[in-house]
């Protein structure tokens, strides 16, 4: 299988054609049949042992576990490799750098917020089964943000769930829960407390069967507090939000994979501000399925939902069944996605012209 090094292959690779020969411990770490197939397609490369999982990333360095409970993790450079926490990677023979990143089965990706730069992806977590979008009940409900997060979550390939935290700190949460639930069409909403543990068992249940859950949301919403409660120890640092506006202090600075006692994996992530689209899959259609259903009932197939007769969207807005702000939000997202696709196509053309070497688009000027 290791064509250039058949002698070494005998030592490190399982017999050709064998399946399920990866040690059980790797399955406990999230290795599955899909990854096994991806790895086999590549010829089962294993320069420095079998593939490992990225447990943490610090500015160009990856911490890699080869087994669940690995107490001697590797620390290697990421030079040239686009890695994210949760990725499965092959490390070079000298155990110095990530040599290959195995194709992801899912990833939560947003557009990196580097103003003026060309569009780049920011992968917040990879190979995840569930994305928990965390919002705090102590702050005014931010429906527009949640809508965008849901689009990214659906596009990630993982299952979205919403966790509304700090239930212990609010007296009448009903209105906030209702407002956020209104934009969470067909997505479960859990109401929890990272302090008292209320609702925590439902969150734990999401990890059953060794699944990987990523916690995502703005700074200060209580991601790390929730994770500490699930783990039963203070694994992650937390700090108080600002008095006035409830904003967090960006306490978590590195994304981290953590083992949940009893099975499953948690990924804590640093709070992020901008929720900008990156992928264009079916995320928008799934997050706005209620509005797309309405559109199917407009009289004209090319209805612009403006003032056309027989427009089901306008009728729903007039009847108070659809919030005009939600429809405006959808229109903005559709426009953002179209602009992003244009930009990505232009970059691909540029890269093609330059022989596959992407360079900054000097003619851009936008
Ligand atoms: N009362 C109450 N306070 C909470 C709860 N969850 C978090 N907090 C508090 O909110 C503050 C922020 O919590 P963190 O867990 O640090 O928030 P985070 O989402 O991890 O923030 P970043 O790491 O900055 O992204 C801390 O003071 C927590 O004690 C909760 O369920 N109830
Ligand atoms: Mg945190
Ligand atoms: Zn219409």
Which of the two residues, 12 and 354, has the higher pLDDT score? 354
Q: According to the model, what pLDDT value does residue 43 have?
A: 87
Give the CATH number of the domain where residue 292 resides: 1.10.40.50
- Phi (first) and psi of residue 50, to 5 degrees: -70, 165
The torsion angle over the Cα atoms of residues 72, 73, 74 and 75, rounded to 10 degrees, is: -120
Average pLDDT, the chain: 87
Which residues fall inside 5 Å of ion ligand 3, going by CB? 298, 303, 305, 311, 313
Do 89 and 113 lie in one domain? The reply is no
Of the residues 218, 233, 268, which one is the last residue of a structural domain?
A: 268
Do 178 and 84 lie in one domain? The reply is no
Do 115 and 218 lie in one domain? The reply is yes
Do 85 and 231 lie in one domain? The reply is no
Ligand 1 contact via 243 beta carbon (within 6 Å): no
Determine the average pLDDT of the residues in 267-288. Answer: 90
CB 148 within 8 A of CB 98: no
Q: Is 273 contained in some domain?
A: no
What's the pTM value of the predicted model, to 2 decimals? 0.89
The ligand whose atoms approach the alpha carbon of 196 most closely is 1
Ligand 1 contact via 45 beta carbon (within 6 Å): no
Burial class (CB in 10 A: 0-12, 13-18, 19+), 217: buried
Angle, alpha carbons 157-160-163 (nearest 5°): 155
Do 122 and 258 lie in one domain? The reply is yes
Q: According to the model, what pLDDT value does residue 286 have?
A: 96
Burial class (CB in 10 A: 0-12, 13-18, 19+), 40: middle
What is the per-residue pLDDT across 117-146, written as a single tens digit (0 to 9) for each? 567 889 999 999 999 999 999 999 999 999
The ligand whose atoms approach the alpha carbon of 306 most closely is 3
Q: How far is the CA of 50 from the centre of ligand 2 (A)?
A: 31
Ligand 1 contact via 235 beta carbon (within 6 Å): no
Q: Which string of DSSP letters, residue by residue, matches 9-74?
A: HHHHSPPTT--S-S-HHHHHTT--HHHHHHHHHTT---TTSS-EEEEEEETTEEEEESSTT-SS-E
Ligand 1 contact via 106 beta carbon (within 6 Å): no
Q: How many domains, in total, are found in the chain? A: 3
Give the CATH number of the domain where residue 55 resides: 2.40.50
Do 192 and 222 lie in one domain? The reply is yes
Q: Is 15 contained in some domain?
A: no
Q: Is 310 left (phi over 0), alpha (psi -120 to 50) or beta?
A: left
* Domain that includes residue 158, residue range: 107-268
Band of residue 6 on the pLDDT scale cut at 50, 70, 90: very low
Do 120 and 244 lie in one domain? The reply is yes
Q: Is 49 contained in some domain?
A: yes
Do 143 and 252 lie in one domain? The reply is yes
The ligand whose atoms approach the alpha carbon of 297 most closely is 3
Atom 3 of ligand 1: nearest residue by CA position: 166
Of the residues 51, 86, 101, which one is the last residue of a structural domain?
A: 101
Of the residues 239, 268, 297, which one is the last residue of a structural domain?
A: 268
What is the per-residue pLDDT across 161-209, written as a single tens digit (0 to 9) for each? 999 999 999 999 999 999 999 999 999 999 999 999 999 999 999 999 9
Ligand 1 contact via 160 beta carbon (within 6 Å): no
Band of residue 79 on the pLDDT scale cut at 50, 70, 90: confident
Q: How far is the CA of 250 from the centre of ligand 1 (A)?
A: 11
Atom of ligand 1 nearest to the CA of 217: 19
Do 54 and 190 lie in one domain? The reply is no
Do 115 and 249 lie in one domain? The reply is yes
Do 78 and 162 lie in one domain? The reply is no
Do 175 and 198 lie in one domain? The reply is yes
Band of residue 361 on the pLDDT scale cut at 50, 70, 90: very low
Give the CATH number of the domain where residue 211 resides: 3.40.50.300
Ligand 1 contact via 203 beta carbon (within 6 Å): no
Atom of ligand 1 nearest to the CA of 237: 16
Ligand 1 contact via 67 beta carbon (within 6 Å): no
**pLDDT over 80 at 329, yes or no:** yes
Question: How much of the chain, in percent, has pLDDT values that exceed 90?
Answer: 60
Q: According to the model, what pLDDT value does residue 115 have?
A: 58
Ligand 1 contact via 246 beta carbon (within 6 Å): no
Band of residue 16 on the pLDDT scale cut at 50, 70, 90: very low
**pLDDT over 90 at 359, yes or no:** no
Band of residue 23 on the pLDDT scale cut at 50, 70, 90: low
Q: Is 4 contained in some domain?
A: no
- Phi (first) and psi of residue 37, to 5 degrees: -70, -40
Q: Is 14 contained in some domain?
A: no
**pLDDT over 50 at 362, yes or no:** no
Find all residues with CB under 8 Å of 221, minimum gap 6, and list them: 134, 135, 136, 139, 165, 248, 271
Q: How far is the CA of 222 from the centre of ligand 1 (A)?
A: 3
CB 36 within 8 A of CB 19: yes
The first and second tokens of residue 275, run together, are 């929720």
Q: Is 16 contained in some domain?
A: no
Q: How far is the CA of 254 from the centre of ligand 2 (A)?
A: 9
């Amino acid at each position: 299988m290791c064509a250039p090094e058949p002698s070494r292959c005998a030592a490190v690779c399982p017999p050709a054609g064998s399946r399920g020969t990866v040690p059980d411990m790797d399955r406990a770490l999230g290795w599955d049949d899909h990854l096994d197939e991806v790895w086999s397609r590549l010829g089962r490369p294993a320069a420095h042992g079998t593939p490992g999982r990225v447990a943490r990333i610090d500015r160009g360095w990856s911490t890699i576990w080869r087994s669940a409970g690995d107490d001697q993790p590797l620390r290697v450079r990421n030079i040239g490799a686009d890695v994210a926490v949760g990725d499965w990677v092959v490390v070079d023979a000298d155990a110095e750098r990530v040599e290959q990143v195995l194709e992801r089965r899912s990833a939560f990706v947003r557009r990196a917020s580097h103003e003026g730069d060309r569009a780049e992806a920011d992968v917040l977590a990879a190979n995840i089964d569930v994305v928990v979008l965390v919002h705090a009940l102590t702050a005014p409900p931010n429906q527009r943000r949640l809508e965008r997060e849901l689009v990214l979550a659906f596009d990630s390939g993982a299952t979205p769930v919403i966790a509304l935290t700090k239930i212990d700190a609010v007296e009448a949460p009903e209105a906030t829960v209702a407002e956020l639930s209104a934009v969470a069409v067909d997505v479960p909403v859990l109401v929890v407390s990272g302090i008292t543990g209320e609702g925590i068992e439902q969150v734990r249940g999401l990890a059953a069967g060794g699944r990987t859950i990523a916690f995502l949301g703005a700074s200060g919403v209580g991601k790390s507090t929730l994770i500490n409660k699930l783990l039963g120890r203070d694994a992650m640092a937390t700090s108080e939000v600002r008095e006035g506006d409830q904003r967090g202090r960006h306490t978590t600075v590195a994304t981290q994979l953590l083992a949940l006692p009893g099975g499953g994996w948690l990924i804590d992530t640093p709070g992020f501000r901008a929720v900008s689209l990156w992928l264009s899959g079916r995320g928008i259609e799934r997050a706005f399925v209620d509005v797309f259903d309405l559109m199917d009932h407009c009289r004209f197939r090319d209805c612009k939902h403006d003032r056309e007769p027989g427009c089901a969207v306008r009728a729903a807005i007039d009847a108070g069944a659809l919030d005009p702000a939600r429809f405006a939000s959808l229109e903005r997202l559709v426009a953002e996605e179209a602009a992003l696709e244009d930009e990505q196509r232009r970059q691909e053309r540029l890269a093609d012209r330059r022989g596959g070497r992407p360079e900054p688009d000097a003619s851009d000027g936008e």
